[in-house]
Structure 1
Amino acid sequence: MSYQEFNALQLDALREVGNIGAGNAATALSQLLNRKVDMTVPAVNIVPFSDVFSRIGAEDIAIGVIVRVLGDTPGNILFVFEKEVALNIIESLTGMRDEEFGELGSSVLCEIGNIISGSYMNAIAKFTNLVIMPSVPAMAYDMLGAILSTTFIESGQFDDSVLDIETMFINDDENKKIGGHFYYVPMPGSLEKILNTLGVI
């Protein structure tokens, strides 16, 4: 079915699934960094594919950690943060500050992506009784629009309208800002499987 055909009940169900997954992921990130991390209420975004390139900040350079979702509901998970935030996270975990991304920094960010996406997927798998597994994470350092569009295309989403479930992780430390945007971009058919398990298809 077309994403435009989802009704209010189905969108609410997807938002709740995102809420459960993101809640687990925020807890994991908070424990990992040993500081409080809050999250926004997940948004189910259905937008024209052309808008992906014109989103606010699409030309800004960002760091993306991409994890492929395998199993019953394939797709991609993408965790995006600004360069400064990525450097803060690396410093927080290694005690070292470097203005460029070396092998250690890339490894730290991939491991964070692995832990967060694993927490997200485990929560959804438990909630839906579906089999969902993460792949090995990969890191991208590019314009935000390019990272997003590649993630959608790799998920088989390049029709007129594309869908993602987006959450923001935030913390209130002005000196060491840590947080970012978290996207679950399902392949066509994956959301229908989730909705079917919840009885709202």
Structure 2
Amino acid sequence: MGYLNLSPIQLDALKEVGNIGAGNAATALSQLINKKVDMTVPAVNVVPFETIFSRIGGEDIVIGVVVRVLGDTPGNILFIFEREGAFNLIETLTGQREENLSEMGNSVICEIGNIISSSFMNAIAKFTNLLIMPSVPAVAYDMLGAILSTTFIESGQFDDSVLDIETMFVETDSKISGHFYYIPMPGSLEKILSVLGVE
């Protein structure tokens, strides 16, 4: 099933799933940094691959956390931090300002990505009663275009469009803008929609 074939009802169902997942992720992030974190309502869009490059900047250097989704709905979740937001988080947790991603910074981002992705997936698993498990996350510090292309090819997804769940976590001192890209392997999206009763 291509994303462009989704009906408005199916998109609404996915938005609700995204909302629950992102809400869980915001709570987990709040507990991790010990500060209140609010969350904007996720915008769930089906966007052409090229649009992502032009809108966010395919050549922008970003920090991505890739988590393989294992279980009933295999695929990949890619969480993209804008560079500034990632370094703000590292500073919040370590007390040190970095200009380049150090080994410590990499570990911090890996752990944040792990917590956010796991809480996101746990919420979806509870909501759908599907078995969904995260793998160990991998951190990529590269151009957005390079990270996205690699993740898509690994998922066996060659569609021209991608499901983009865009949310912003707002903490008192800073905004952490994030994009979730759920990149299901063929058949996974149909399984989620079937469970939600919107085939």
Match of 2:24?
A: 24
Give the whole-Å Cα distance in 2 for the aligned partners of 1:177 and 1:21: 19
- Checking the alignment, whether the CA contact within 8 Å between 1:52 and 1:149 is kept in structure 2 is no
> Which one of 163, 179, 190 corresponds to residue 188 of structure 2?
190
Amino acid at match of 2:195: T
Match of 1:100?
A: 100
SS in 2 for 1:19: helix
Give the whole-Å Cα distance in 1 for the aligned partners of 2:20 and 2:166: 11
> Which runs of 5 or more structure 1 residues have no equivalent in the other structure?
none
Match of 2:55?
A: 55
Matched, 1:138 2:138: yes
Per-residue CA distance 1:57-96 (angstroms, 9 max, x = gap): 2211111111111111111111211222212111111222
Give me the TM-score of the superposition, normalised by structure 2. Answer: 0.90
CA RMSD of aligned residues (A): 1.8
Give the whole-Å Cα distance in 2 for the aligned partners of 1:172 and 1:122: 23
Deviation at 1:172, TM superposition (A): 5.3
Match of 2:197?
A: 199
Give the whole-Å Cα distance in 1 for the aligned partners of 2:32 and 2:9: 35
Amino acid at match of 1:108: V
Give the whole-Å Cα distance in 2 for the aligned partners of 1:134 and 1:52: 25
> Which runs of 5 or more structure 2 residues have no equivalent in the other structure?
none
Per-residue CA distance 1:18-62 (angstroms, 9 max, x = gap): 111111011111221222323233333323334444333221111
CA shift in 2, pair 1:196/1:53, >3 Å = same
Matched, 1:72 2:97: no
Give the whole-Å Cα distance in 1 for the aligned partners of 2:83 and 2:170: 16
Amino acid at match of 1:182: F
Give the whole-Å Cα distance in 2 for the aligned partners of 1:47 and 1:176: 27
Give the whole-Å Cα distance in 2 for the aligned partners of 1:31 and 1:119: 12
Match of 1:35?
A: 35
**More displaced 10-residue stretch of structure 1: 190-199 or 54-63:** 54-63
Amino acid at match of 2:137: P
CA shift in 2, pair 1:168/1:141, >3 Å = same
Give the whole-Å Cα distance in 2 for the aligned partners of 1:180 and 1:49: 17
Deviation at 1:106, TM superposition (A): 0.5
Give the whole-Å Cα distance in 1 for the aligned partners of 2:77 and 2:25: 12
Deviation at 1:147, TM superposition (A): 1.7
> How many residues are treated as equivalent by the alignment?
199
Give the whole-Å Cα distance in 2 for the aligned partners of 1:186 and 1:43: 18
